[in-house]
Amino acid sequence: MLARSPEETHARLAEAFNAGDLDGIVQMYDEHATLIVPPEGNRVSGRAAIRKALEPAFALKPRAEIQVIEKLQSDGLALTLARWSLVGTDADGQRVELAGRGTIVSCQQPDGSWSSFWTSRNGPTEGVRAGTARLA
């Protein structure tokens, strides 16, 4: 699941969430990437830790929407800011809705694709609107 531009990184993340493709998301991150995991903001580094941190979100079988709202790019590095939302169902059948803004720092690879090195949530724009937010 290669992204050919920094903006496409966000689109590929949404596609992977919507397809239930946890491995696809994990492969989009550099081996030493850091992810700040919503909603609590825990920091994890490396693909194995990123995979483990995202498993609870994937258990919700979420639908994701991501919209890029800003990009700074120069010399093979990019910083993108996006609005995101996830809607899923927890183990008790309760609807869970999460929304916020997030940034991704990505780097262009020799083959022209883009790999994520750092992903952060910038705080919720709407927070949890229904159900519970505890994913881990």
Mean pLDDT of the chain: 86
Is 135 within the bounds of a domain? no
Domain count, the chain: 1
As to burial, measured by CB atoms within 10 angstroms (0-12 exposed, 13-18 middle, 19+ buried), residue 135 is buried
pLDDT confidence band for 119 (50 / 70 / 90): confident
The pLDDT value recorded for residue 5 is 94
Is 136 within the bounds of a domain? no
The pLDDT value recorded for residue 46 is 95
Q: What is the pLDDT of residues 30-44, one digit of tens each?
A: 999 999 887 778 899
Q: Whole-prediction pTM value?
A: 0.81
As to burial, measured by CB atoms within 10 angstroms (0-12 exposed, 13-18 middle, 19+ buried), residue 82 is buried
Is 69 within the bounds of a domain? yes
Q: Three-state DSSP class for 64?
A: strand
Is 128 within the bounds of a domain? no
Length of the chain, in residues? 136
Q: Which of 98, 63, 101 is nearest to 83 (CA)?
A: 101
E strands of the chain, at which residues? 29-37, 42-45, 63-74, 77-89, 95-108, 114-121
pLDDT confidence band for 133 (50 / 70 / 90): very low
Asked if residue 117 has pLDDT above 70, the reply is yes
What CATH number did the domain enclosing 37 receive? 3.10.450.50
Q: What percent of the chain stands above pLDDT 70?
A: 88
- Domain region containing 17: 6-121
Site of tokens 């120069």: 74
Is 134 within the bounds of a domain? no
Is 105 within the bounds of a domain? yes
The pLDDT value recorded for residue 118 is 83
